[in-house]
Structure 1
Amino acid sequence: MKTLILLVSIFTFSFAGAQETKLDWLTDLDKAQKIAKKESKPILMYFTGSDWCGPCKMLKKDFFNSEKFVEQSQNLILVMVDIPRRRDLLTKEQMQYNIQLMGKYNKRGLFPTVLQLDSKGKIKNTINSYSGSPELYFDFVDKML
């Protein structure tokens, strides 16, 4: 009986720990800039087409969902700008806001695009496209930190 209780406890605590590694993506750049300034952290802005962009889906799986990025992200303010084709995935207001951000930060409309911004919204570095190897993205983030 003690063994069963021990196993259940280990499973419960392991599961609780796994939930804590969830990435904290913001969708409001103004809010992100305020936090970045207060915490002295760079902003990582990610442009994705969550429901249609194959390379975006691969990048999410290979890079953003990796333990290494979850660890790196503790020193970043994360902003996701989604431009889905399905209009029911975002509110109308969020979609309009995301399109405005795209007009300023992703004029060429490339997906995926990841940018490093300072707390004032100035672009410091950019990387786009994804070919299946996350190492370039890990290096990109390492240089931010």
Structure 2
Amino acid sequence: MFSFPLTGLGEQYDWATFEDGLKLAKENNKPMMLVIHKTWCGACKALKPKFAASEEILKLSSDFVMVNVEDDEEPEGSQFQPDGGYIPRILFLNSDGVVQPDLINTLGNPQYKFFYSNALMVTEAMKSALKALGGSRNDEL
């Protein structure tokens, strides 16, 4: 879909830049999954191979506009840090580009609601986001 630099999260995903992702979400009436990470972050480095290897994340990704931002690509604004600026964070946005602060990692530390450390956490959040925001797999979830 786009020419996108490899960031370790998996080249098999149709990654978009944040700006393009906002347009695609609106045009296709799809929610956006926004992965915020840094090149120097140990927790980010630990998540990347798990994310990249997950068949379930890949399957669910077709119902989202997939965006990952690294280092200075992170969008500005408090809405992108609902409970802090820790990393990695995964946020879900509706098709109008509005962050959904109620779509959190229910399997993780409640102090860091948008922090994910394994594929199961990510897939469960993706399923919750699809139930809340719609998507073609909504009936299967």
Q: TM-score, normalised by structure 2?
A: 0.66
Cα deviation for residue 55 of structure 1 reads 1.4
Distance 1:116 1:71 in 2: 17
- In 2, distance between residues paired with 1:42 and 1:28? 13
1:123 aligned counterpart, secondary structure: coil
2:115 is matched with 129
Mapped contact 2:25–2:32 kept (Cα < 8 A):
yes
- What is the rounded CA distance, in whole Å, between the counterparts of 1:42 and 1:64 in structure 2? 20
1:77 shift after superposition = 0.2
Match of 2:70? Answer: 82
Contact 1:43 1:79 in 2 (8 A): yes
CA contact 1:55–1:129 (8 Å) conserved in 2:
no
Aligned equivalent of 2:81: 106
Q: Does 1:25 align with 2:15?
A: yes
Shift of 1:28: 2.8
Q: In structure 2, how many angstroms separate the alpha carbons of the residues matched to 1:42 and 1:111?
A: 21
CA contact (8 A) 2:54 2:119 kept: no
Q: Describe the SS at the equivalent of 1:135.
A: helix
**Structure 1 stretches of 4+ moved >4 Å:** none
Q: How high is the sequence identity, in percent, across the aligned residues?
A: 29
How far 1:126 sits from its partner (Å)? 4.1
Residue 120 of structure 1 deviates from its aligned partner by 2.1
- Conserved? CA contact 1:63–1:134, under 8 Å: yes
Task: State the AA in 1 paired with 2:17.
Answer: T
**1:143 matches 2:128:** yes
Q: CA deviation at 1:114?
A: 0.3
Structure 1 equivalent of residue 93 of structure 2: 117
Aligned partner of 2:35 in structure 1 is 46
Q: C-alpha displacement at 1:137, in angstroms?
A: 1.4
Matches within 5 A, 1:31-70: 31-49=20-38, 51-70=39-58
**How many residues were matched structurally?**
108
Letter aligned with residue 54 of structure 1: G
Unpaired runs of 5+ in structure 1? 1-20, 84-94
User: SS of the residue aligned with 1:78?
Assistant: strand
Larger radius of gyration: 1
Letter in structure 1 aligned against 2:90: V
Q: Structure 1 residues 130, 43: closer, same or farther in 2, change over 3 A?
A: closer
Task: Please give the secondary structure, in 1, of the residue aligned with 2:23.
Answer: helix
